[in-house]
Amino acid sequence: MRSPFSFSVSKEISQAVAGSGHRPEALRRQTLADNARIAIAVSALAIPASVYFLIIGIPLPFVMVTLSLASGMITLTLHTRKLYEQAAAGQVYTILLLGLLMTLVDRNLGDMGMAVTVLAPVLAALQGRKALRTQSWVLAGAVLALGTLASMLSLSAGVEMTASWFIASGTVFAASLAVVVHAATRIGGAYEVYDKSQVNAYRHLIEHVQDAVIRFSSDGELLLASRSSEKLFGCQRYELTGSGLGERLHVLDRPLYLTAFADANQGGQARTIEVRMRRDDPHASAAAPTFIWVEVCLSPVLESGSDGMRHEVVALLRDITERKDDEALMAEARRVAEEASSAKSRFLATIGHELRTPLNAVVGFSEMMSSGIGGELSPTHQEYAGLIHQSGKHLLEVVRMLLDMSRLDAGKFELQTERFQLPDLIEPCFSMVGVMARERDIRLVADVATNLPLLLADERACRQILINLLSNAVKFSQPHGTVTVSIKRQGQSLNLSVTDHGIGMAPESLARVGEPFFQVHDGLNRRYEGTGLGLSIVKGLVDLHDGTLRAMSEIGTGTTMTVLLPINGPAIKAEETATVTPIRKEPVATSNSSWLDEKRKAQ
């Protein structure tokens, strides 16, 4: 049977619960407004009777009706202005004041006034905050004590208890009770509907989530299995109860599962493991079981005061078979790629050594022919011998670079470190690229700082770094240009820079500098010869020294290649290097592209 004060409570509560942010709070605020309207309605109905009592000389009913009407209007206005706490306090204080008036008028202890007074803390408990609840009980106690004292001392007004008075006091009590019952019905229904909606939402989530959800009791008994577990294991969920789930675990993975479950159940620690579990296929005719990889997330249900006790455990199970297959394919592809890379390095090393012997003979004999050791040659034969000698040296250089690249790839390029002056390498390197520079009318310039420390590094590798950088700079410079080599100290490193004012590179080309066989101008009609291994060898040698390689370039302006080499070798010893406060922090080259993304103009 529905309460007469419900006002279609169930429908209103459902609508409020469905459309509010903080749902019980929205119902509490709506109840405040309804209580104010109830007070206004009851007061308006009681006005004629109260006026009658006022005419016959009994003003108290008129005072109480006026007070109730004013309270309803004031609290409704406060609610409209969103002053909800003040509105709740106004309704509670109004009931207390009505109870006080009725208590002081009646000498009897069990009168309606005290009953009305007791309803005020009840209303405060339903729709007030903690402070209001405390104040209401204190004030109610004070009113009851005052009524008791007035009755004992016969200080009350001593109004004659007529039928009309009983009707008036009963009306006040009924109105106050209606407000309290309405508030209790609305707020209690709100929490009931809210809890039910929460349960339904969680049940819907568990039943429709893709991952299987399983709940275990503190004793390890399976309490709940979601609908998705049927799809995961290919069986009905009731088949997982008892030992059904444990029997599906692969024998080799059972110790891992039991250990993780014990950590969650007894230790209260969340664990995530990957195990193999059997999946049934009712349509399969093969007798061999099918196992899938499952990621199991075990989460304990922790409650306050449950330290040292077993916990319920909620497990999320996800099929990761596809991911495991992808990982296996990636591992196999990585193994094949590594074997192919190793085979490539072995092939390059073998073919390089096989080519060196006949090429050395070709170069040697062509040089002998050009020098006239075997007899005088005609001008035509002299030209042919020179071409043979030049081509042989070019092939020897290509073979040398291939061998160096293969050793770097295989990790077999060993550094022979010793201390030396890095500027001492400039003149020999200038001499080696001097012929190419003179052919293109390129001027080589050195800019070396003073008082540079000795560098602990592989001198031959550093010479090769500088030669490769100079060769690239001369090759890509415009005729009559300048290539500058600068060396200076930068913190705990020496800065070796080679700058040209040639064709430059676009940002997309900068992003690939250092890749083996990469050339800015590729194709059969490229203007510049080369294998594209020079900068990749430089990058490999710099990495072996724990150094940094950076490139700055702009099309039509030129390129600056910068190498930072640790002063004390690959393993920097700070105590042997003077402390230098850097003005700006240098980026760390952790990959081939970390230094390639800088898009700055060459200086």
Other beta carbons less than 10 A from residue 2's beta carbon = 10
pLDDT in tens, 298-315: 999 887 766 678 889 999
Question: What is the pLDDT, as a whole number, of residue 16?
Answer: 42
* DSSP designation for 586: P
Q: Please, which residues have CB within 8 angstroms of residue 294's CB and are 6 or more apart in sequence?
A: 232, 274, 275, 276, 277, 317, 318, 319, 320
Q: Which of 125-129, 232-236, 383-387 has the lowest mean pLDDT?
A: 125-129
Token pair for 514: 């250092």
pLDDT in tens, 156-192: 444 444 555 556 666 666 676 667 766 666 666 556 6
- Count Cα atoms within 13 angstroms, Cβ side, for 132: 21
- Check whether 213 has a pLDDT greater than 50: yes
How many residues would you count in the chain? 603
- Count Cα atoms within 13 angstroms, Cβ side, for 465: 29
The percentage of residues in the chain with a pLDDT greater than 90, rounded to a whole number, is: 14
Question: What is the pLDDT, as a whole number, of residue 132?
Answer: 79
Question: What is the pLDDT, as a whole number, of residue 477?
Answer: 85
CATH 1.10.150.120 corresponds to the domain 212-319: no
- Check whether 523 has a pLDDT greater than 50: no
Q: Which residues of 356-382 are buried (b: 16+ CB within 10 A; e: fewer)?
A: eeebeebbebbbebbeeeeeebeeeee
**What is the residue extent of each domain of the chain?**
9-206, 212-319, 326-410, 417-576
Cβ atoms of 33 and 90 within 8 Å: the answer is no
pLDDT in tens, 555-581: 878 888 889 999 987 764 444 444 444
Question: What is the pLDDT, as a whole number, of residue 580?
Answer: 46
Fold of 417-576: Heat Shock Protein 90 (3.30.565)
Give the three-class secondary structure for 129: coil
- Check whether 585 has a pLDDT greater than 90: no
pLDDT in tens, 307-364: 678 889 999 999 999 999 999 999 999 999 888 877 777 777 777 767 777 877 877 8
- Check whether 101 has a pLDDT greater than 60: yes
Question: What is the pLDDT, as a whole number, of residue 19?
Answer: 41
Question: What is the pLDDT, as a whole number, of residue 23?
Answer: 55
Q: Tell me how far apart the alpha carbons of residues 68 and 91 are, in angstroms, rounded to a whole number.
A: 9
Mean pLDDT of all residues in the chain? 75
Give the mean pLDDT of 356-374.
77
Cβ atoms of 510 and 438 within 8 Å: the answer is no
pLDDT in tens, 463-512: 888 888 888 888 888 888 889 999 999 988 999 999 988 887 766 666 55
Among the four given CATH numbers 3.40.50.980, 1.20.1510.10, 3.30.470.20, 1.10.287.130, the one describing domain 326-410 = 1.10.287.130
